[in-house]
């Protein structure tokens, strides 16, 4: 069994002239983009560019005021929120947290079958959190908790996996684990879309959408999109991200 879906390559996701916001503040203005099915797309942009809002629209938790999303299958996408969005006070172990990823498929009594339990163990192994299975989520380090949340996302076996800054603030080993898990999910046919400030992770994606002020600046292969010039435009200053991309070029 694999902890990702293994369908044939699904259709592309697309957003068509999406506008969305909070009250009268627009976070996205007429955003159109294609997010290739069964591939990894990185959403890149400065703070406030609209990355999380676009993920929320794709996840169905932020209703657009205009435009539409096409290519989503019948199942709801899995959304892995930023770890700061998850309360420290939740009285859940790592295993319980990951097992919650199975709930949507279990029906009203949430009775896990053996296959569900195996899938949960496998997803914990994949993210390196199996040794922490009995620990309370609130007692974990930021990186451990983030890995548990990604394992929960994978345990849903989603067709579309959305992640908001999955490697923010993590050490190199945790980043590698998460990058490898996303690559495996993409290889197994899952459409992965993640928002990131981690240019290494962004450059490792198959596709990239660069946002600025709620509008798309560029879209395409990451190395072609994330040029020093484009990053300067996105950030408004010739600061760190552009320098880092130049190092990688």
Sites of contact with ligand ATP (CB under 6 A): 22, 25, 27, 45, 47-53, 195
Q: How many CB atoms lie within 10 A of CB 71?
A: 18
Token output for 229: 């010039």
Sign, CA torsion 35/40/45/48: positive
Burial class (CB in 10 A: 0-12, 13-18, 19+), 206: middle
Q: What are phi and psi of 141, to 5 degrees?
A: -75, 165
Q: Which is nearer to ligand ATP, 58 or 119 (CB)?
A: 58
In the complex, what is the shortest distance from the CB of residue 248 to ligand ATP, in angstroms, rounded to a whole number?
20
Residue 65 near residue 19, CB atoms below 8 Å: yes
Q: Which is nearer to ligand ATP, 48 or 238 (CB)?
A: 48
In the complex, what is the shortest distance from the CB of residue 199 to ligand ATP, in angstroms, rounded to a whole number?
13
Q: Which is nearer to ligand ATP, 47 or 108 (CB)?
A: 47
Q: Which is nearer to ligand ATP, 215 or 232 (CB)?
A: 215
C-alpha gyration radius of the chain: 18
In the complex, what is the shortest distance from the CB of residue 152 to ligand ATP, in angstroms, rounded to a whole number?
20
In the complex, what is the shortest distance from the CB of residue 143 to ligand ATP, in angstroms, rounded to a whole number?
18
In the complex, what is the shortest distance from the CB of residue 234 to ligand ATP, in angstroms, rounded to a whole number?
10
Q: Which is nearer to ligand ATP, 4 or 41 (CB)?
A: 41
Distance CA 168, CA 188 (A): 25
CA distance readout (Å), 140 to 24, 93, 131, 182, 243: 38, 10, 12, 22, 33
In the complex, what is the shortest distance from the CB of residue 10 to ligand ATP, in angstroms, rounded to a whole number?
25
Burial class (CB in 10 A: 0-12, 13-18, 19+), 226: buried
In the complex, what is the shortest distance from the CB of residue 121 to ligand ATP, in angstroms, rounded to a whole number?
32
Distance CA 26, CA 195 (A): 19
Distance CA 160, CA 242 (A): 30
């Amino acid at each position: 069994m694999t902890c990702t879906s293994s369908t044939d390559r699904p259709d592309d996701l697309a957003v068509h002239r999406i506008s969305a916001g909070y009250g009268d503040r627009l976070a996205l203005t007429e955003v159109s983009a294609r997010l290739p099915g069964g591939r990894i797309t990185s959403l890149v942009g400065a703070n406030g560019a609209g990355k999380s809002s676009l993920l929320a629209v794709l996840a169905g938790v932020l209703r657009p005021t205009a435009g539409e999303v096409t290519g989503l299958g019948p199942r709801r996408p899995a959304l892995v929120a930023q770890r700061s969005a998850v309360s420290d006070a939740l009285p859940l172990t790592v295993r319980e947290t990951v097992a919650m990823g199975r709930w949507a498929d279990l029906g009203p009594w949430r009775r896990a079958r053996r296959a569900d339990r195996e899938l949960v163990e496998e997803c914990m192994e994949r993210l390196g959190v199996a040794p922490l299975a009995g620990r309370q989520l609130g007692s974990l380090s930021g990186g451990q908790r983030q890995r548990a949340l990604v394992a929960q996302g994978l345990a849903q076996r989603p067709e579309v996996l959305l992640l908001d800054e999955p490697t923010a603030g993590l050490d190199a080993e945790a980043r590698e684990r998460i990058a490898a898990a996303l690559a495996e999910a993409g290889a197994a046919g899952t459409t992965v879309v993640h928002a990131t400030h981690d240019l290494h992770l962004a450059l490792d994606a198959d596709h990239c959408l660069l946002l600025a002020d709620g509008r798309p600046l560029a879209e395409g292969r990451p190395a072609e999109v994330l040029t020093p010039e484009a990053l300067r435009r996105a950030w408004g200053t010739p600061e760190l991200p552009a320098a880092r991309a130049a190092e990688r070029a």
